[in-house]
C-alpha cells in the first residue's frame, strides 16, 4: 500500500496511540523481592549456559553464534540477579565471511561455551562448526586474568564439539566432547593445545524415560559439563532435544566405565518443552544449584535455576526431578538488590553498552559514538537487504513482552540509504526510512517485502517502535513524529526461527542499496527498552 503525505509537524488523528514509556513497566526479573525467585531466571536468549563460582561471584557464559562480540558472560552475587560482565571474543578473524565478504557465516561463531577458573585465570572454550549440520570445525580456548578482559584466543585445528572443560586435581586438563558418542581429550597443562588422542568414553543412546511422549527409541547426548565431587567424575548432558531430559554419567575413573541416570525429566512445562543443557555450581555453604535452559521458540532458549538434591550420590534437579517454578533463593548469606542485564542505551558514553552485539564483525570505520556527542552514528555500506548489511546492531527480544523505541535523526541519509528499527531473524521485519530521488519515504518491510509506505517525509527527526510478545510470537510496529503519540504502521510480524537456534533480536541499521560509497549516515539519539512482567 502506497500513501503520500507531506510531514512538517505532528497532527493528532483518531488513529494515534500513545507510546508506552520505557520505564513504565519493569523488565522481567526472577527476584520476587521476598526471599524467593521464579523461573525463568532470564526471559531472553541465553542458550547453552555454563556457570562457575569464583570467590563471591558467579559467572554464566552463553552461546552467541555469529553475533559479535561473542561468548557473553554474566555475573551475579546470588545466582538470581545478573548483570553483563563482558565477552570472551572480540571478533572472528579466521574467515572473511565474518566480515560479510564473499558471503556470510550465520549460525557459525561460538557454540556451547564452557567456562572455568584455574590458578588465577579464566578459561572459556567453545566449538565453531563449519556450517550447520556438519561434523567439522575447530575448537577455541580464550584466557584472561579478568573476566572483563582483555582475552586471548587460541584456535585449535581439532574439532571438539560441545566441549566441557575440566581441570583435574592431579594437574591434568581434559575436554569431554561429542554428540551421541562422547570422547575425552587431554589438553596440555596450559590448556592451549591437544596433548593426547581422543578416548571414547560413552557410546549409545539413552532410552526414552518412562512417561515421556517422545518416540520409543534411544537418544544421543551432547552439551557435556564435567565435575569431580567426592571421588566421582560426573558428566551432565542433555538428551532428547528440546522435548528431552537431563542425564548424568558418573565414574570413579575419568576414562570410565560410566553409569548413567536421568536426573531431570518434566515435559509438562511451557510449552511442553523440557529443560535441557546447562551447568552446575556449588555455593560456599556446600549447596549445589543447576542453571539449565528451556526452549521458548522465537524468544530463545531461556535459563532456569534449579536446586540440586543429592540422592544416592546422584544430583537430582528441581523437585524430585520435576519442574521448579517458585522457590527460596540460594543461601549466599546476604541479600542483594534486584539487578537485570542492561537494555536501554542513551549512547552518551564512549563505548556501547554490553547488551549490544553486531550481526557479524562490524566495520569500525562505519560507526561512531564520538562524531556527534550523545548519538550513535551509523554510516551506510552497500547491501541488497538487511541480512547482508554490516553494522546491524542487535540486542535480545525478551518475554513475556518487550518493546524497543528509538529516536533517529535522518537528515544525514543519502539516496539509496535504508535506516530504521527492526526485529531480526528469518523472517525479519522493520520500520524505517528509505531515501530515493532526494525524498524520504517511510516504509514497513515484512519478510523482505514493502507492505506499507508514506512518501514525502520532510521531518528529519522520527521515532520508531517495535512491540513483541511471546503470545503467538508477534511484533507490531509504529512510528511517531513527536516522540509521544505513536501510529501503528504496516502489518504484524510472526516471529520465526529460519536461522535455527537463534532467537529474534531488536536491530538498528543503516545500509545503502545503490553502491558501495554512496551512503550517508543516520544518528540514533537513544534506544529505550520496556519489558512486561507477569
Beta carbons of 452 and 443 less than 8 angstroms apart? yes
Task: Determine the Cα–Cα distance for residues 470 and 451; give it in Å rounded to an integer.
Answer: 23
Confidence of residue 6 (pLDDT cuts 50, 70, 90): very low
pLDDT of residue 210: 72
CA-nearest of 297, 323, 319 to 308 is 319
pLDDT at residue 303 tops 70: yes
Specify burial of residue 152 (Cβ count, 10 A radius: 0-12, 13-18, 19+): exposed
3-state class (DSSP) for residue 241: helix
pLDDT of residue 236: 97
pLDDT of residue 478: 98
For the whole model, what pTM was predicted? 0.94
CA-nearest of 415, 411, 376, 381 to 395 is 376
pLDDT of residue 79: 98
CA angle (46 as vertex; 530, 428 as ends), nearest 5: 65
pLDDT at residue 516 tops 80: no
Domains of the chain: 2-22+343-531 (2.60.120.200), 36-328 (2.115.10.20)
pLDDT of residue 22: 38
Task: Determine the Cα–Cα distance for residues 247 and 278; give it in Å rounded to an integer.
Answer: 11
pLDDT at residue 289 tops 70: yes
pLDDT of residue 25: 45
CA-nearest of 273, 276, 510 to 414 is 510
**pLDDT tens-place string over residues 98-145:** 999 999 999 999 999 999 999 999 999 999 987 655 568 999 999 999
Dmax (CA) for the chain in angstroms is: 76
* C-alpha separations of 190 from 122, 177, 193, 223, 435 in Å: 12, 19, 8, 23, 54
Task: Determine the Cα–Cα distance for residues 234 and 393; give it in Å rounded to an integer.
Answer: 40
Range of lowest pLDDT (151-160, 213-222, 351-360)? 213-222
Strands (DSSP E) contained in 168-267 are: 173-177, 182-187, 199-202, 206-207, 218-219, 225-229, 232-239, 245-251, 259-264
Length of the chain: 534
Beta carbons of 404 and 466 less than 8 angstroms apart? yes
Task: Determine the Cα–Cα distance for residues 351 and 62; give it in Å rounded to an integer.
Answer: 22
| Phi/psi at 404 (5° precision) | -110, 130
Beta carbons of 420 and 408 less than 8 angstroms apart? yes
pLDDT at residue 68 tops 60: yes
Task: Determine the Cα–Cα distance for residues 342 and 398; give it in Å rounded to an integer.
Answer: 12
| Phi/psi at 299 (5° precision) | -75, -25
Give me the torsion for CA of 50, 280, 155, 179, rounded to 10°.
-100
Instruction: Provide DSSP, 363-393.
Output: -GGGEESTTTTTSEEEE-EE-SSGGG-TT-E
pLDDT at residue 513 tops 90: yes
Average pLDDT score over residue span 353-382? 97
* C-alpha separations of 78 from 91, 355, 456 in Å: 31, 21, 54
Q: How are beta strands 505-512 and 381-382 bridged, if at all?
A: parallel
pLDDT at residue 1 tops 60: no
Average pLDDT score over residue span 56-62? 98
Give the containing element (helix H, strand E) for 165.
strand 164-167
* Per-residue burial over 75-111, b = 16 or more CB atoms within 10 Å of its CB, e = otherwise: bbbbbbbbebbbbbbebbeeeebbbbeeebbbbbbbb
pLDDT of residue 281: 98
CA-nearest of 516, 422, 522, 395 to 68 is 395
Q: Which three cell numbers stand for residue 112?
A: 556451547
Confidence of residue 517 (pLDDT cuts 50, 70, 90): low
For the chain, the average pLDDT equals 91
Amino acid at each position: 500500500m502506497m500513501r503520500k503525505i507531506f510531514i512538517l509537524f505532528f497532527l493528532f488523528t483518531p488513529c494515534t496511540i500513545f507510546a508506552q514509556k520505557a520505564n513504565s513497566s519493569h523488565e522481567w526479573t526472577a527476584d520476587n523481592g521476598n526471599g524467593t525467585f521464579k523461573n525463568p531466571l532470564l526471559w531472553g536468549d541465553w542458550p547453552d549456559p555454563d556457570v562457575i563460582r569464583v570467590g563471591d561471584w558467579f559467572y554464566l557464559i552463553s552461546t552467541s553464534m555469529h553475533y559479535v562480540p561473542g561468548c557473553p558472560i554474566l555475573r551475579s552475587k546470588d545466582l538470581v540477579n545478573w548483570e553483563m560482565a563482558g565477552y570472551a571474543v572480540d571478533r572472528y578473524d579466521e574467515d572473511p565471511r565474518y566480515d560479510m565478504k564473499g558471503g556470510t557465516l550465520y549460525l557459525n561463531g561460538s557454540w556451547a561455551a564452557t567456562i572455568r577458573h584455574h590458578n588465577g585465570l579464566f578459561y572459556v572454550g567453545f566449538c565453531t562448526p563449519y556450517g550447520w549440520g556438519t561434523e567439522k570445525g575447530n575448537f577455541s580456548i580464550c584466557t584472561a586474568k579478568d573476566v572483563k578482559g582483555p582475552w586471548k584466543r587460541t584456535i585449535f585445528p581439532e574439532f571438539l564439539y560441545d566441549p566441557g572443560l575440566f581441570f583435574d586435581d592431579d594437574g591434568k586438563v581434559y575436554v569431554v566432547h561429542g554428540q551421541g558418542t562422547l570422547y575425552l581429550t587431554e589438553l596440555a597443562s596450559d590448556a592451549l593445545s591437544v596433548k593426547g588422542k581422543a578416548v571414547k568414553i560413552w557410546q549409545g543412546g539413552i532410552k526414552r524415560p518412562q512417561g515421556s511422549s517422545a518416540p520409543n527409541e534411544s537418544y544421543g547426548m551432547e552439551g557435556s559439563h564435567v565435575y569431580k565431587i567426592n571421588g566421582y567424575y560426573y558428566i551432565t548432558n542433555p538428551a532428547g532435544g528440546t522435548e528431552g531430559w537431563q542425564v548424568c554419567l558418573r565414574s570413579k575413573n575419568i576414562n570410565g566405565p560410566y553409569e548413567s541416570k536421568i536426573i531431570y525429566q518434566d515435559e509438562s512445562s511451557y510449552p511442553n518443552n523440557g529443560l535441557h543443557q546447562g551447568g552446575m555450581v556449588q555455593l560456599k555453604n556446600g549447596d549445589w544449584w543447576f542453571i539449565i535452559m528451556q526452549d521458548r521458540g522465537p524468544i530463545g532458549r531461556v535459563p532456569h535455576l534449579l536446586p540440586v538434591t543429592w540422592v544416592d550420590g546422584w544430583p537430582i534437579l528441581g523437585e524430585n526431578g520435576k519442574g521448579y517454578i517458585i522457590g527460596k533463593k540460594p543461601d549466599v548469606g546476604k541479600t542483594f538488590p534486584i539487578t537485570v542485564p542492561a537494555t536501554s542505551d542513551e549512547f552518551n558514553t564512549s563505548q556501547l553498552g554490553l547488551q549490544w552485539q553486531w550481526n557479524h564483525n562490524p566495520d569500525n570505520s562505519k560507526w561512531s559514538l564520538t562524531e556527534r556527542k550523545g548519538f550513535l552514528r551509523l554510516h551506510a555500506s552497500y547491501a541488497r537487504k538487511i541480512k547482508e548489511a554490516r553494522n546491524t546492531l542487535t540486542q535480545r527480544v525478551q518475554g513475556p513482552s518487550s518493546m524497543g523505541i528509538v529516536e533517529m535523526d535522518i537528515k544525514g541519509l543519502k539516496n539509496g540509504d535504508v535506516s530504521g528499527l527492526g526485529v531480526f531473524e528469518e523472517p525479519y521485519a522493520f520500520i524505517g526510512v528509505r531515501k530515493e530521488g532526494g525524498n524520504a519515504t517511510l516504509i514497513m518491510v515484512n519478510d523482505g517485502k514493502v507492505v506499507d509506505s508514506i512518501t514525502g517525509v520532510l521531518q528529519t527527526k522520527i521515532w520508531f517502535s517495535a512491540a513483541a510478545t511471546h503470545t503467538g510470537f508477534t511484533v507490531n510496529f509504529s512510528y511517531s513524529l513527536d516522540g509521544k503519540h505513536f501510529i501503528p504502521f504496516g502489518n504484524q510480524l510472526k516471529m520465526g526461527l529460519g536461522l535455527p537456534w537463534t532467537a529474534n533480536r531488536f536491530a538498528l541499521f543503516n545500509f545503502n542499496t545503490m553502491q558501495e560509497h554512496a551512503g550517508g549516515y543516520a544518528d540514533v539519539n537513544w534506544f529505550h527498552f520496556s519489558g512486561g512482567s507477569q
